[in-house]
Amino acid sequence: MASSEIKSGALVSLQDLHPSSPYFKQGASLRVTGKLQEYSVETAIATIVDGSDSLKINTQHLRELSFRVGSIYQFIGELLIQPDNEAVLQARVGRNVDGIDLNLYYQSLQLLRQFQANHLKNPST
């Protein structure tokens, strides 16, 4: 019997999503944040960017979320890797996070990863 457990979304930056990354896996549950560059109502595909990195987001399952180009959004969902190695996040949750300090957010993400790496190496500490 297949498990229907919903995984938590691993915090990743768009820079972390490249083919050699451990996060770049079919079906990986991820949480991503970026500025909305474009949105198509017809296809429900949004593109978010962070610096020179971008990711397509399939928003077909999201309700009650209005999209404004230039606003910052955070999405949780599963990564679908296309045959051409292009990644699309199938979003199950999305929210507008305008006002977030992205530099501070990425600093906290780095500290979280350092803590997790140390804790996993030394679980008794």
Classify 99 in phi/psi space as left (phi over 0), alpha (psi -120 to 50) or beta: left
On whether residue 3 sits in a domain, the answer given is no
Residues 6 or more apart whose CB falls under 8 angstroms from that of 109 comprise 11, 13
Largest CA distance in the chain: 52
Per-residue pLDDT reduced to its tens digit, 68-109: 999 999 999 999 999 998 999 999 999 999 999 999 999 999
Its domain, for residue 42, covers 10-121
What CATH number is attached to the domain comprising 101?
2.40.50.140
Position 83 in a domain: yes
Question: pTM, whole model, 2 decimals?
Answer: 0.88
H-helix or E-strand containing 22? Answer: none
Model pLDDT for residues 6-51, shown as the tens digit of each residue: 788 889 999 989 888 989 999 999 999 999 999 999 999 999 999 9
- In a domain, residue 62? The reply is yes
Per-residue pLDDT band for 1 (boundaries 50, 70, 90) equals very low
Residues 89, 16: Cα–Cα separation, whole Å: 14
